[in-house]
Chains A and B, each alone.
Chain A
Amino acid sequence: MTFIYVGYFNCKKMLSIRQYAQRFISNKIFNTNNSNYLPSIQQRSFNWFKEDDENDSKGFLKYNKTIFPPQKPGEPKRPGYVCHVKKNIKYSPLKMWYVACFIRGMSVDEAVKQLSFLKKKGAAIAKDTILEAQRMAVEEHNIEFKSNLWVAESFATKALVYKGIRRHARGRYGIIHYRYCHYFVRLEEGKPPKHYYQPAPKTGEEWLQEWMEQMRNRKIYNSL
């Protein structure tokens, strides 16, 4: 058990240090008149020879690593996205499910606003995760406006379940499940779709078209 969570801390810590370093350095490195920043990058060279983080190369976060082919000048701008995970939350996945479903298909600002009024522990966690993902999107994934994002995916899965024992009368016992969960979120660039869960309701024109199509395609038996 010790090893598992030491590793977990380790990766979490390292990522944050790297993020901070990049935030401070990236703009100034190209400044030709100031070479003070070069040694600080060199000092971190140790990290460059390491293998990629195991957590990033598999699972949900690996989608943050996919690199899309360059776009041609005429093509419409490809929407960016960012995936984020909060792992091992001491909260039941059964309860987290409600929170996760609740914010699907909302814009980021709307989701954050709604979650801040939802009186649940899961809401606070989801809000935290979304804000973190939003920050990542702007700082690391070249997404221009932080408000121009919507919650494309949001789901919670089961993590560890610890079993505890409780006493009952007459020498019987009961089992208590202490549940943990993972919370996953993917923010996509652009505006949220009007109809997230179901396809858009058809207009009269569309219904007519469909009916016409159906009529034309029907087969009349024993005809020519």
Chain B
Amino acid sequence: MMSTYRNVICIYGKYMQSNLPLMLGRINYPVSNDNFQQVRNIKKHWNQKYRKARAQKVIKVKLPKFDENESPADAFRSKLKEAGILPQRDWTERPVFISSTPSIFERYIVPEGDGKFSPLTTTGIKQKFEVLEKKSKSFMALRKIKMFEDNYTAEKFRDHLSDIYKKAHEALCRKDKDEILQYVTETVYPLLIHNVENKTLIWKFVESLEPPRIVHARVTNIVTKHNEYAQVTVRFHTKQLLCIYDRFGRVILGSETVKKDVLDYIVFEKHLANEYGTWRIHGKIIPDWMKPEEVPTFTYSLLKKQEELSSSDSDVQSVAKVVPPETLDKQHTT
């Protein structure tokens, strides 16, 4: 008479054993809300009063939980709380970096449409004059810079700066972090290196269309009077090659054969007060009137409308909306 005492459905954890006759028994059908999985091998006593006794047989072990999405700070705090220790006060200090300034001071304002007009036209002449007008303050600054430079000649100085310009780019192509920092200040370093990881850069300097020209110079002191920084803006009008490949060697932008004319206003900086200070690239002046650059185009999926989102809740439906496979057969042409 065992059957009279026997519970027909035994549930243990997420496993369920049904001892109902086949006709009455439920069909084990995958329903998303249902957690139970039907098995036939539950070897537990049907009476729940033995559950506690069964549990006592197992000695509890504290298992590490890796799937908790707790921040390290929170995790540490809860650990301290567990142990009953008061958390220590944080040691807060603000690091100050003095071998470069955080910004470009008194930015050079680029004449509109620079590089597009020949000096023979009226606009071209006007631009030339404008440049001359603004120079008085720059002259003073250059005079100061000369004091700190050994054997200063205008030509030598320009060559030196254009050499830095090239070397910085070449180091960037090689992704040599230490070398880049020799030619670039710490302020501009993150901007330069942003988004270049996992990519191959090919950059070549073809020729200089116009000799590099110093258009702007400033010297400022920070905190103390003798702690001086010099910034020089140089106009480079050059011909360059640029090609960017992704991680798998496929072209993202540019070409290795097409040369392009490039007009750059590069700001160089030197910590004059530092005896071993060097000229390094400190920034680039991008005029407001310039059109946005050519940006690599990526394929992206359009955002769904709100109504559509609410109607399709399950993952299975969202999977069905995919790119039709026949479109994938097309050969990729670059």
A residues lining the B interface (CB < 8 Å): 1-2, 5-6, 8-10, 13, 22, 25-27, 29-33, 35, 38, 41-42, 44-45, 48, 65-71, 73, 77-80, 87-90, 109, 112-113, 116-117, 119, 127, 140-142, 144-148, 160, 162-168, 176, 178, 180, 191
Partner pick for B76 among A6, A148, A167, CB 8 A cutoff: A6
Q: B328: which A residues are within 8 A, CB to CB?
A: 145, 147-148, 191
Question: Quick check: A9 and B288 within 8 Å, CB to CB?
Answer: no
22 contacts between A and B (CB under 8 A): A5-B75, A27-B295, A32-B287, A33-B290, A44-B190, A45-B186, A66-B247, A67-B200, A70-B251, A71-B245, A80-B246, A80-B247, A89-B66, A90-B63, A109-B319, A142-B298, A144-B298, A162-B63, A164-B58, A164-B60, A167-B57, A178-B61
Closest Cβ of chain A to B103, distance in Å, is: 9
Q: A9-B70, A142-B247 are in contact. Are A41 and B191 (CB under 8 A)?
A: yes
- Inter-chain CA distance A31–B294, complex, in Å, is 9
- Inter-chain CA distance A2–B246, complex, in Å, is 38
Per the 8 Å Cβ criterion, residues 28-85 of B in contact with A are 30, 37, 56-61, 63-67, 70-72, 75-76, 79
- Inter-chain CA distance A176–B325, complex, in Å, is 48
Closest to B79 in A: A2
- Inter-chain CA distance A141–B199, complex, in Å, is 10
Q: B223: which A residues are within 8 A, CB to CB?
A: none
- Inter-chain CA distance A144–B323, complex, in Å, is 11
Q: B295: which A residues are within 8 A, CB to CB?
A: 27, 30
Cβ of B313 under 8 Å from chain A: no
Q: A142: which B residues are within 8 A, CB to CB?
A: 246-248, 250, 252, 298
Question: Quick check: B66 and A5 within 8 Å, CB to CB?
Answer: yes
Cβ of B316 under 8 Å from chain A: yes
Cβ of B249 under 8 Å from chain A: yes
Question: Quick check: B198 and A67 within 8 Å, CB to CB?
Answer: yes
Question: Quick check: A90 and B67 within 8 Å, CB to CB?
Answer: yes
Q: A13-B71, A67-B247, A78-B250 are in contact. Are A26 and B195 (CB under 8 A)?
A: yes
Question: Quick check: B190 and A41 within 8 Å, CB to CB?
Answer: yes
Question: Quick check: A41 and B194 within 8 Å, CB to CB?
Answer: yes
Closest to B286 in A: A32
Q: Which of B71, B200, B248 gathers most chain A CB within 10 Å?
A: B248
Q: A6-B75, A191-B328 are in contact. Are A33 and B59 (CB under 8 A)?
A: no
Question: Quick check: B316 and A30 within 8 Å, CB to CB?
Answer: no
Q: A27: which B residues are within 8 A, CB to CB?
A: 295
Closest to A65 in B: B198
Question: Quick check: B191 and A38 within 8 Å, CB to CB?
Answer: yes
New contact pairs (5) apart from A45-B189, A116-B316, A164-B61, CB-CB < 8 Å? A6-B72, A68-B249, A69-B200, A77-B332, A119-B30
Partner pick for B37 among A9, A30, A119, A164, CB 8 A cutoff: A119
Q: A148: which B residues are within 8 A, CB to CB?
A: 323, 328
Q: A142-B247, A145-B328 are in contact. Are A87 and B316 (CB under 8 A)?
A: no
Q: Main SS of chain B's interface residues?
A: loop
Cβ of B147 under 8 Å from chain A: no
Closest Cβ of chain A to B85, distance in Å, is: 13
Closest Cβ of chain A to B183, distance in Å, is: 16
Q: A66-B247, A67-B247, A80-B247 are in contact. Are A166 and B190 (CB under 8 A)?
A: no
Q: A73: which B residues are within 8 A, CB to CB?
A: 334
- Inter-chain CA distance A139–B87, complex, in Å, is 40
Closest to A21 in B: B194
Closest to B244 in A: A70
Q: B332: which A residues are within 8 A, CB to CB?
A: 77
Q: B30: which A residues are within 8 A, CB to CB?
A: 117, 119
Q: B199: which A residues are within 8 A, CB to CB?
A: 67
Cβ of B21 under 8 Å from chain A: no
Question: Quick check: A22 and B195 within 8 Å, CB to CB?
Answer: yes
Per the 8 Å Cβ criterion, residues 5-24 of B in contact with A are none
Closest to A87 in B: B66
Closest Cβ of chain A to B163, distance in Å, is: 25
- Inter-chain CA distance A109–B318, complex, in Å, is 10
- Inter-chain CA distance A123–B332, complex, in Å, is 34
- Inter-chain CA distance A9–B72, complex, in Å, is 6
Closest to B287 in A: A32
Q: A45: which B residues are within 8 A, CB to CB?
A: 186, 189-190
Nearest 10 CB-CB pairs, A to B? A88-B66, A45-B190, A142-B246, A147-B322, A164-B61, A68-B249, A71-B249, A70-B245, A70-B249, A147-B323
- Inter-chain CA distance A117–B314, complex, in Å, is 12
Q: B63: which A residues are within 8 A, CB to CB?
A: 90, 162, 178
Q: B37: which A residues are within 8 A, CB to CB?
A: 119
- Inter-chain CA distance A89–B63, complex, in Å, is 12
- Inter-chain CA distance A44–B290, complex, in Å, is 27
Partner pick for B291 among A10, A32, A35, CB 8 A cutoff: A32
Q: B102: which A residues are within 8 A, CB to CB?
A: 42
Question: Quick check: B248 and A68 within 8 Å, CB to CB?
Answer: yes
- Inter-chain CA distance A176–B102, complex, in Å, is 60
| Chain B 237-280 near chain A by CB (<8 Å), digits 1 or 0 | 00000010111111110001000000000000000000000000
